Amino acid sequence: MTKQEKKQKAKEFYTIMYRTRRFEEEVFEFYKRGLMPGLAHLYLGEEAVAAGVCGALEEKDYIGSTHRGHGHLVSRGADLNKMMAEILGKGTGYSKGKGGSMHIMAMDKGILGANGIVGGEIPIAVGSAYASLYKGTDEVTVCFFGDSASNEGTFHESINMAAAWDLPIVFVVENNLYGISVDIRRVTKEHHIAKRAAGYGIDGFTIDGNDVFKVYETTQKAVDKARKGGGPTIIECMTYRWQGHHVGDPGVYRPEEEVAEWRARDPITNLEGLSLLTEAEIKEIKELVDKEMEEACKFAEESPYADVSEAYTDVFVD
């Protein structure tokens, strides 16, 4: 990558990461104002993972997402207005307000849906990868999941099948160290989940999930390999959620010094520290994104709820 190319990538990544952060901050504000039904699981602090991974994909590729999925959609270029409206349960949302935060999806961007079931997206993503193999097409599916999902049965069953059949899929572990309040280091003998890849005969890598260029470069290699028939890869991105498990969780189970340490490793600040963007360029990006967020929030807040007659539509497919 030339210096100019890296600068252009830095601009793209910074825009996506700042957009994700501002989106999540506004979601949190809606929750605190009592305008959002249910809960949301914020992506604050993890922005580099989604930005780097999605930056390595082609438009035709697919994504399996988690209950902490807003960042995946933002990074994929989903419509911010429809996203925010969906989170507020409005009829103008991606699923007419019926999916909400934990089941948000954007099929127009290859997002197969966030999933409220821990590990539930893993077999769905493997099914998507199998469909590409069966049809003889070259789409790649990326499956995001958290550290605790790696202890679900779906993890083994799905990765075993994907490995045995060399399916075109990349498994991305967003290891933020905690499954709700459970420290993954207390409930697994081997803390690095990517090492499990050896047992399936596939590649596994553990990387700094707060380094967007590292995430991008590692994912790009894995995606290229999968697209050429080389089978799956596990990429474990070490990162950290700044907030509690969800917007209503104070996160008191985490040591204050640990939280402070990870906040100091802010992925957005890290990107600024590479000095690839000028202060003027950063200011321009922030002003553009802030305006986008203002418009998305206004659209969502002013949008109507779906009519009660819609309650039983879009439930089954004939």
Say whether pLDDT at 157 is over 80: yes
pLDDT band (50, 70, 90) for residue 315:
confident
Token readout for 315 is 């439930």
pLDDT value of position 314: 86
pLDDT value of position 155: 97
pLDDT band (50, 70, 90) for residue 317:
confident
pLDDT value of position 316: 81
pLDDT band (50, 70, 90) for residue 282:
very high
- Cβ partners under 8 Å of residue 20, min gap 6: 43, 47, 50, 51, 70, 71, 74, 75
> CA angle 315-42-39, nearest 5°?
50
Closest alpha carbon to 62 in 145, 170, 135: 170
Q: Tell me the pLDDT tens digit for each residue of 204-253.
A: 999 999 999 999 999 999 999 999 999 999 999 999 999 999 999 999 99
- The domain limits of the chain are 3-304
pTM of the model: 0.96
Closest alpha carbon to 219 in 14, 22, 52, 30: 52
Give 3-304's CATH code, choosing from 1.10.1490.10, 3.40.50.970, 3.40.50.720, 3.40.470.10: 3.40.50.970
